[in-house]
A and B are shown apart, each in its own frame.
Chain A
């Protein structure tokens, strides 16, 4: 199957991956070969077949829910302990709203 460099870049963009040129060059033929291989599913007629999103075994209730009652959760400092950058009880991230006169994303 053909898979253009443009398509690889488009998918990387969707996946939030900043691929370097060598990676694009490596992935392009590998992804094309895998996509070519999975085309074989097209040989099966599935027009009358329901899609299966989840295993629902016979006899098992499907996704039973627990009672909707409040329970203790992780304390704030524990929830933040693995954050690469935290402060004042929050996860810190770069500014999202641009200051007037600066360019950025």
Chain B
């Protein structure tokens, strides 16, 4: 990828991952560019969610997970000895498929990450800033403390989750099909938001919605059966795919 001026934030080097005896990710080489939006697409079960969860070591919690190869985060091996997954997750935030706010007030949802990370400063301002970045502040401003995360609509909940992730100023924001549980209007809002976020944070988004990938991302990676088939600038991948399997997928012949 010659367009990259800056070195990639995240890059995988022959990264493989097994659930027990099943290999879910097979020797993937992928670079994630800084302050760009990288979409990972592919049919269900292709390993895209597994890969994105490997980026902040959430797979560590699943018993029987093994990895091989490397993921480099700003040049440092993510799975190296002495790397604290807690620190990794603070720097690489994540938004999940289903909105999962904490059963607490909107304020506490956003403040939790700050509190546990020992934030010193104006908590209220920081929370409001995060909510503003997630385009939620105007909708909840009056009742930050009165409403719980569950009182919000699905789209608002997902934006609350984004605000929660943004509050701790992550360098990378991973999004695992963030719109799959939302209606089209809420989806459109989130997509706008993702575009805005790209100016300040690196975004990796997993989606099985090709239109979404085409709409929001700068780069797209296509995965199939655990392997990375093709990766490139979104426009190129969708208009002139190099691999016949990519072409078959984006033209809707399978998936």
The answer to whether A and B interact is: no
Interface residues of B (CB under 8 A from A): none
